[in-house]
Chains A and B, each alone.
Chain A
Amino acid sequence: MVKLIKYLVIIAALCVAGVFIWKHFFGKSEVEIIKEQIYSLASEASKKAGESIPSAIIHAKTVENFFTDPCYINVGTQMFSGKYSQIQIGASCMRYRQMFKQIKFTAHDLEVNLTGTGTATAFLTAELRGITRSGRNINAFRELECSFVFHKDKWLISKVNIRRIIEK
């Protein structure tokens, strides 16, 4: 029994060491880096209940740094679509987050393709769950296509389009 536990511990330790070595020496692929960018963006855009104004400003500032300047957003409505500078994105983010008591953005079914040197496209299902200031629960999904460019050692979003899942 003791021998068995010893062997199990040794095997587990070797597995952990192997995973660590693999991650450290072989590093992350560009696709994984872009995926992490998207998950980070979703996390930064989310808002917990009781968030202070300074914290909201920091989140909005962080969100704008995920986008190129300018960035093109086409979400199907005139009101939100257009060409945005980074500052405009930050200001819009601040404004829309203030309409909610809490929001959670989640990216599902994320698929990233490298389309060329320094460019990539990501397809994802974006989910928004939140409670507005008036107490209304919101739960919405959108299929998005995000175009990325590699700029100043970072992958930044240059275009966001709504994607139709089924197109006549």
Chain B
Amino acid sequence: MGLFKKLLAAYFRCWRPHVGKSPADAARDFCVPSLNGAFLTRLVTIIIAGFLVFNYLLRPCFIKGGSMEPTYPRLGFDFCWRGQYWFSQPKRGDIVIIRFTRNTLLLKRIVALPGETVEFRQGRLFINGRLLYEPYVKYECDWNLPPRRVKPGHYYAVGDNRSMSISRQKFGQFRKKRIYGGPLW
């Protein structure tokens, strides 16, 4: 136990290299650190922490397509917060990131929940036969899609930009397991 405490104390000392130094020396050491054990320990810790955070918690994403304009403009940047649904369930109106293939994510908005019926009539979205109020859809849409039921364990998601042809946009129902996370902002 004594050894463990010593190791822990030594590790935390690596993060306080300025202790016992003048401000000028501390600033110089910060800008031009010497390659000692403490520096390497801090570097390795930051690399590991960065890898874990940006791979498993906050994945950086570049938005390539325009299917969520104007809410998310093309060529934008965001982080995918993986913990979005760790303690809650997806609900209508949520913007989610769907894992399409191993390297491709889709950014869409959930419009229908499991068991509901989805239909497009002249560009207007009907859920269970009732028109859905969608203030986020800013562009003209002329989509027509016969009614279909969302399967159990599935959600229905569509992009906000429906000015493109219905065949060009990837949208529809997907399994809940496919939800990768949600945009951080």
Which residues of A line the B interface, CB within 8 A? 1, 4, 108, 111, 125, 127, 141, 143, 164-168
Docked CA distance A125–B170 (Å):
19
Which residues of B line the A interface, CB within 8 A? 1, 3, 98, 100-102, 106, 145, 148, 157, 166, 170-174, 177-178
Knowing A1-B3, A4-B3 are in contact, say whether A166-B101 is a contact too (CB < 8 A).
no
Which B residues are CB-close (under 8 A) to A143? 101
B170:A166 contact, CB within 8 angstroms: yes
A166:B100 contact, CB within 8 angstroms: yes
Which B residues are CB-close (under 8 A) to A141? 101-102
Knowing A1-B3, A4-B3 are in contact, say whether A166-B174 is a contact too (CB < 8 A).
yes
Closest Cβ–Cβ distance, residue A129 to chain B (whole Å): 11
Question: Which of these, B102, B172, B178, contacts A168 with CB under 8 Å?
Answer: B172
B102:A166 contact, CB within 8 angstroms: no
Docked CA distance A48–B157 (Å):
41
Which A residues are CB-close (under 8 A) to B174? 165-167
Closest 4 CB pairs of A and B: A168-B172, A141-B101, A167-B172, A166-B172
Knowing A1-B3, A4-B3 are in contact, say whether A168-B101 is a contact too (CB < 8 A).
no
B172:A108 contact, CB within 8 angstroms: no
A166:B145 contact, CB within 8 angstroms: no
Which B residues are CB-close (under 8 A) to A111? 177
Docked CA distance A29–B108 (Å):
37
Which A residues are CB-close (under 8 A) to B100? 165-166
A168:B171 contact, CB within 8 angstroms: yes
Which A residues are CB-close (under 8 A) to B173? 166-167
Docked CA distance A127–B166 (Å):
28
Given contacts A4-B3, A166-B100, 19 further A-B contacts (CB under 8 A): A1-B3, A111-B177, A141-B102, A143-B101, A164-B172, A165-B100, A165-B174, A165-B178, A166-B106, A166-B157, A166-B170, A166-B171, A166-B173, A166-B174, A166-B178, A167-B172, A167-B173, A167-B174, A168-B148
A108:B102 contact, CB within 8 angstroms: yes
B3:A166 contact, CB within 8 angstroms: no
Residue picked from A1, A125, A165, most chain B C-beta under 10 Å: A165
Closest Cβ–Cβ distance, residue A112 to chain B (whole Å): 13
Which A residues are CB-close (under 8 A) to B171? 166, 168
Which A residues are CB-close (under 8 A) to B145? 168
Which A residues are CB-close (under 8 A) to B157? 166
Docked CA distance A166–B177 (Å):
12
Chain A residue at smallest Cβ distance from B158: A168
Closest Cβ–Cβ distance, residue B94 to chain A (whole Å): 16
A125:B106 contact, CB within 8 angstroms: no
Closest Cβ–Cβ distance, residue A166 to chain B (whole Å): 5
Docked CA distance A166–B148 (Å):
14
A-B contact pairs, 9 of them (CB 8 A): A111-B177, A141-B101, A164-B172, A165-B100, A165-B174, A165-B178, A166-B172, A167-B173, A168-B172
